């Protein structure tokens, strides 16, 4: 019989998110992991890793910096969303990353946005979750992890990317041609408007 790693912890985190937010999008996914890296994932989970969180950060026109004198008066300022391009990646994503011991998913998401882009944000809602059951050949364990996507608002700062992790970051008014899978559901809803 397979050992379930993190099942109860992930379920309690999902219950807390359900109690606090009207979580709209849910994905339940089975993921097959390379046997060479799965042992390390299991060890990390046993040390407290539960998953990761991300923020769809929206900057409203009134939060944008004033136009410089060289800009024409008729420039249309519109809502934009903060998107990142990871090192070696070709698909645009949303900032976020792994939850550290003792953090809530909300605290983790805000910290990751700040570390990756130097942008401060608020958390407004939980857009959705992806509950992963990770398995690997040659291993008996089933690893339960959670990916959480929040929606948030810009609270300050200017983009300054973390060079060790990102190739770029930008405020986007339109959807890029290539999106990371975690960004696709929220992008489809937001860019549709």
* CATH number of the domain bearing residue 107: 3.90.79.10
66 assigned to some structural domain: no
Tokens at 9, concatenated: 């912890």
In whole angstroms, what is the distance from residue 153 CA to residue 157 CA? 12
Confidence of residue 138 (pLDDT cuts 50, 70, 90): confident
Average pLDDT over residues 117-142: 95
Confidence of residue 153 (pLDDT cuts 50, 70, 90): very high
Residue 118 has a pLDDT of 96
DSSP the chain: ---EESHHHHHHHHHHHHHHS---EEEEEEEE--HHHHHHHHHHHHTT--EEEEEEEEE-GGGSPPPPTTS-TT-----EEEEEEETT--SEE-SEEEPPTT--HHHHHHHHHHHHH--EEEEEEEEEEEEEEEE-TT---EEEEEEEEEEEEEEE------TTTEEEEEEESS--SSB-TTTHHHHHHHHH-
160 assigned to some structural domain: yes
pLDDT score of 76 more than 70: no
> What mean pLDDT is reported for the chain?
91
Residue 74 has a pLDDT of 62
Confidence of residue 62 (pLDDT cuts 50, 70, 90): confident
pLDDT score of 184 more than 90: yes
49 assigned to some structural domain: yes
Residue 157 has a pLDDT of 95
The DSSP bridge partners found for residue 130 are 27, 147
Is residue 5 a contact partner of residue 132, using CB atoms and an 8 Å limit?
A: no
Residue 123 has a pLDDT of 97
Nearest to 88 by CA among 164, 1, 172, 184: 164
pLDDT score of 165 more than 90: no
70 assigned to some structural domain: no
Percentage of the chain modeled with pLDDT above 90: 76
Average pLDDT over residues 158-176: 92
pLDDT score of 14 more than 90: yes
140 assigned to some structural domain: yes
pLDDT score of 73 more than 80: no
69 assigned to some structural domain: no
pLDDT score of 63 more than 80: no
Average pLDDT over residues 68-73: 70
Domain count, the chain: 1
Domain enclosing residue 10, as ranges: 4-61+79-192
Average pLDDT over residues 139-167: 94
136 assigned to some structural domain: yes
In whole angstroms, what is the distance from residue 127 CA to residue 132 CA? 17
Q: Assign 3-state DSSP to the chain and report helix, strand, coil percentages, each to 5.
A: 25, 35, 35
């Amino acid at each position: 019989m397979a050992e379930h790693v993190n099942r109860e912890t992930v379920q309690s985190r999902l219950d807390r998110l359900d109690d606090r937010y009207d979580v709209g999008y849910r994905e339940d996914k089975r993921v097959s992991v390379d046997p060479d890296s799965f042992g390390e994932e299991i060890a990390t989970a046993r040390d407290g890793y539960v998953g990761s969180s991300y923020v769809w950060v929206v900057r409203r026109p009134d939060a944008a910096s004033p136009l410089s004198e060289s800009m024409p008066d008729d420039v249309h300022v519109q809502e934009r969303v903060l998107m990142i391009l990871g090192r070696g990646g070709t698909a645009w994503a949303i900032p976020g990353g792994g939850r550290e011991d003792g953090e809530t998913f909300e605290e983790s998401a805000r910290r990751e946005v700040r570390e990756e882009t130097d942008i401060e944000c608020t958390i407004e809602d939980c857009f959705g979750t992806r509950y992963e059951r990770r398995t690997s050949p040659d291993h008996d364990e089933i690893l339960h992890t959670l990916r959480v996507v929040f929606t948030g608002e810009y609270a300050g700062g200017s983009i300054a990317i973390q060079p060790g992790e990102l190739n770029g970051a930008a405020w986007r008014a339109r959807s890029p041609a290539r999106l990371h899978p975690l960004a696709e559901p929220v992008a489809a809803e937001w860019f549709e408007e």
